[in-house]
Amino acid sequence: MKCQKCGTELHEDQKVCIACGTRTIRGDNYSFGDKEPWRPTKNHIIGAASVLVLLIVLLIINAMRADPPKVVAEEWFNAMTQRKVKDARKLSTPDLEENLQSHGMDLMAISEEYYSDITSNGGSVKVSEPKPAGSKSTLSVDVSVSYNNGEPARQYNLEMVKVGKNWRMNKIL
């Protein structure tokens, strides 16, 4: 086989002329190794867009879903036992603080008490499954605090109310 441009004698399988670099008949479909830059196809774009839409929908559903009351009660206690009063406040109604104040207490003082019982002394908290308490938007939840040797330390009964779609700690009964 001869090069079509310069006439150099080439091997039958030669894809490029060794003398002038012109492609031979064999080399017509030959890529020189520098690949085409990757470009997303229409399917790639549709696929990526679908995944994105699905993610957004899941995020919205997740944001709209209210936590079950037991989870709220557990989170409230966890925040309280770690003296994270700000976090606890987000999970309670303003009524809770008024209720506490009328008993000469406040969230901070109770949080200190829980902190000393549980976080400092290795005690544990057990939150019961909240039970209906009179109305559809009221629940009662029992919380027991145990010392690190397993002996019961304190027992609390709290009222939870539904505020919008969320359950919130409302009162220490």
Number of residues that bind Zn ion (CB under 5 A): 8
Q: What are phi and psi of 155, to 5 degrees?
A: -130, 130
Q: What are phi and psi of 119, to 5 degrees?
A: -70, -45
Taking the least distance from each CB to Zn ion, the nearer of 5 and 11 is 5
Q: CA 116 to CA 122: how far, in whole Å?
A: 9
For 71, 78, 149, the CA distances from 143, given in Å and listed in that order, are 13, 12, 17
Q: Does 6 bind Zn ion (CB under 5 A)?
A: yes
Residue 1 CB, shortest distance to Zn ion, in Å, is 11
Residue of the chain from 3, 143, 160, 161 that contacts Zn ion (CB under 5 A): 3
Taking the least distance from each CB to Zn ion, the nearer of 22 and 121 is 22
Region from 9-17, 102-110, 140-148, 154-162 binding Zn ion, contact rule CB under 5 A: 9-17
Q: How far separated are the first and last CA of the chain, in Å rounded?
A: 99
Taking the least distance from each CB to Zn ion, the nearer of 14 and 93 is 14
Question: Are 114 and 135 contacting, i.e. CB atoms less than 8 angstroms apart?
Answer: no
Q: What mask of x and - would describe binding to Zn ion in positions 16 to 45, judged by CB under 5 A?
A: -x-xx-x-----------------------
Q: In DSSP terms, which residues pair with 169 in a beta bridge?
A: 92, 160
Q: CA 5 to CA 22: how far, in whole Å?
A: 7
Taking the least distance from each CB to Zn ion, the nearer of 32 and 56 is 32
Taking the least distance from each CB to Zn ion, the nearer of 19 and 45 is 19
Q: In DSSP terms, which residues pair with 171 in a beta bridge?
A: 159
Using CB under 5 A, list all residues that contact Zn ion: 3, 5-6, 8, 17, 19-20, 22
